[in-house]
């Protein structure tokens, strides 16, 4: 095995040591497996909910965001937004929604690959999956802010509503409307996958760092 390849994938576990410490080496792999399944399954669950409450809508209006489409009372909300000069919701995050499923599949494969890499490079492979839940909320905040802060001044009720940024999470007020936003099941699944991935790398280091130390003591070139 070349030094470069060893630096990337890390040392292999001797068969005898694997038999004696099966749980130690299996733990990070099992946790990463659970994490990547959660991440992939999150595609089929909503990532974000918003409920719009107003006197003329006693039951409220709801919009639910999946990673690749919107559902709920989107048309009705777009109709209300038209009067205050906000663009239709479907115009937001078009690139993100088009590529989201493929991005999650790619992250699933990267986390799977990280399970077979016994060096610090494994963390880089899994980093997109670790950051994904926070990135989703940050991207959502960007679009909510962009749409709310850039109202059409020629809209019929533009003078009655000042530019605003709807809250990504929690409650907010827009004129006479009250909004309540919360993370959906899919986002929580992705967040749990992120946490499990971090936990997996704690066990990953405990399992494979001694192999690097041993290799260094024997004069081999490795990256710890």
Q: Using one digit for the tens of pLDDT, what is the confidence trace for 13-23? A: 677 776 787 88
Q: Using one digit for the tens of pLDDT, what is the confidence trace for 148-167? A: 999 999 998 878 888 999 89
- Estimate to the nearest angstrom the gap between the alpha carbon of 47 and the chain centroid: 9
With 60 as the cut, is the pLDDT of residue 190 above it? yes
pTM of the model: 0.89
User: Mean pLDDT, to the nearest integer, of 196-220?
Assistant: 80
Q: Catalogue the long-range contacts made by 61-70 (C-beta closer than 8 Å, 24 or more residues apart).
A: 63/89, 64/184, 65/140, 65/184, 66/186, 67/42, 67/43, 67/97, 67/100, 67/101, 67/104, 67/136, 67/186, 68/43, 68/97, 68/98, 68/100, 68/101, 69/97
The reported pLDDT for the residue numbered 136 is 98
* Residue 10 backbone class (left: φ over 0; alpha: ψ -120 to 50; beta: rest): left
User: Mean pLDDT, to the nearest integer, of 169-181?
Assistant: 89
Percent of the chain residues topping a pLDDT of 90: 63
How far apart, in whole angstroms, are the C-alpha atoms of residue 129 and residue 59? Answer: 37
Q: In sequence order, what E strands does the chain have?
A: 48-54, 57-65, 70-72, 170-174, 177-183
With 70 as the cut, is the pLDDT of residue 42 above it? yes
| Beta bridge partner(s), residue 48 | 65, 183
Strand, helix or coil at 219?
coil
Q: Using one digit for the tens of pLDDT, what is the confidence trace for 57-113? A: 888 999 999 999 999 999 999 998 999 999 999 999 999 999 999 999 999 999 999
Quick one: pLDDT band at residue 216, thresholds 50, 70, 90? low
For the chain, what are the domain ranges? 3-217
With 90 as the cut, is the pLDDT of residue 126 above it? yes
The reported pLDDT for the residue numbered 208 is 85
User: Mean pLDDT, to the nearest integer, of 183-203?
Assistant: 97
Instruction: Provide the residue count of the chain.
Output: 224
The reported pLDDT for the residue numbered 222 is 41
How far apart, in whole angstroms, are the C-alpha atoms of residue 193 and residue 167? Answer: 24
How far apart, in whole angstroms, are the C-alpha atoms of residue 42 and residue 65? Answer: 12
Does residue 37 contact residue 31 with C-beta atoms inside 8 Å?
no
Strand, helix or coil at 143?
helix
């Amino acid at each position: 095995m070349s030094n470069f390849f060893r630096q990337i994938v890390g040392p292999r576990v001797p068969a005898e040591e694997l038999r004696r410490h099966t749980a130690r080496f299996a733990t990070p792999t099992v946790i990463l497996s659970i994490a990547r399944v959660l991440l992939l399954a999150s595609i089929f669950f909503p990532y974000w909910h918003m409920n719009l409450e107003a006197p003329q809508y006693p039951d409220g209006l709801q919009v639910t965001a999946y990673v690749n489409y919107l559902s709920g009372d989107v048309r009705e909300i777009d109709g209300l937004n038209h009067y205050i000069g906000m663009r239709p919701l479907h115009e937001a995050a078009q690139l993100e929604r088009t590529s989201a499923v493929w991005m999650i599949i790619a992250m699933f494969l990267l986390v799977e690959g990280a399970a077979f890499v016994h060096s610090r490079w494994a963390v880089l492979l899994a980093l997109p999956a670790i950051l994904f839940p926070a990135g989703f909320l940050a991207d959502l905040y960007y679009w909510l802010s962009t749409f709310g802060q850039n109202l059409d001044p020629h809209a019929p009720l533009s003078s009655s509503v000042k530019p605003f940024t709807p809250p990504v999470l929690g409650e907010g007020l827009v004129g006479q409307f009250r909004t309540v936003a919360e993370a959906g099941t899919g986002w929580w699944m992705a967040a749990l996958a992120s946490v499990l991935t971090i936990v997996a790398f704690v066990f990953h280091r405990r399992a494979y760092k001694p192999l690097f130390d041993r290799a260094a003591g024997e004069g081999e070139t490795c990256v710890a």
